Amino acid sequence: MTALYAHIEPADDPAFIWLRTSAGPKPERKPAMLVARSELNAVLLMLFDAAQTGAGTC
């Protein structure tokens, strides 16, 4: 099983959140993504799927 660490912060617009992810708790996180709150579930599922398949790894 692959772990995915997510950091979620409120954005200035209440309809959005800032989402940062990393493969571990210590490594530097990727740049923040501005995500609509209504799409958060879909975005997290996409990230989990990508982590499990190894997509997006360098």
pLDDT of residue 58: 47
Rounded CA-CA distance 43/35 in Å is 8
DSSP 8-state secondary structure symbol assigned to residue 48: H
Residues 6-58: tens digit of each pLDDT: 889 999 999 999 999 887 777 676 789 999 999 999 999 998 888 788 765 54
DSSP 8-state secondary structure symbol assigned to residue 44: H
Q: State the pTM of this model.
A: 0.75
The tokens describing 52, both together, are: 């499990």
The tokens describing 9, both together, are: 């912060």
